[in-house]
Amino acid sequence: MKIILADTFFKRLIGLMGKGDFEDGLLFTNLKDSSIHTMFMRFTIDVYFIDKNKIIYDKTTLKPWRFYNPEKQAEYILETKKGLLKLKIGDRLDFF
C-alpha cells in the first residue's frame, strides 16, 4: 500500500471523489478545517484524524454522501478504504 499526499488545495478538494476502487491511502496536510464529506464517492472509507504529534485522536467510518466534523482541529487526516488498515485511536504514526 502506498500513501498519496494531498498537500495542495486542488488535491484536497478532489480527494477520493469519483474514484473507483482505491487500495491506497490519502493523507491530507496543510488543513484549515477538519470537517470532511464523502459526496460523490463510490465506497465507504475509514477516516483517521491525527494530531501534531502524529497520534490518531479520532476515527470514523463514512458511507458515501455523509459528513463528519471532529471535535478538534486535525494536523493530518488519513483516508483509506474501509477495513484496509487496522489502526485505532492512540496509535502513533511514522511519516515524513
Q: pLDDT tens across 55-72, in order?
A: 999 999 999 999 999 999
H helices present in the chain, as ranges: 9-14
Q: What CATH number was assigned to the domain covering residues 3-81? A: 2.60.120.1140
- pLDDT confidence of 78, banded at 50, 70, 90? very high
pTM for this predicted structure: 0.92
Average pLDDT over every residue of 38-46: 92
For residue 15, pLDDT beyond 90: no
Contacts of 71 (CB under 8 A, 6+ apart): 58
Residue 19: pLDDT over 80:
no
Q: Say how far residue 34 (Cα) sits from the centre of its chain.
A: 10
Tell me the domain boundaries of the chain.
3-81
In 10 A of CB 12, how many CB atoms?
18
pLDDT at residue 23 is higher than 90: no
Cα(94)–Cα(96) distance, rounded to whole angstroms?
7
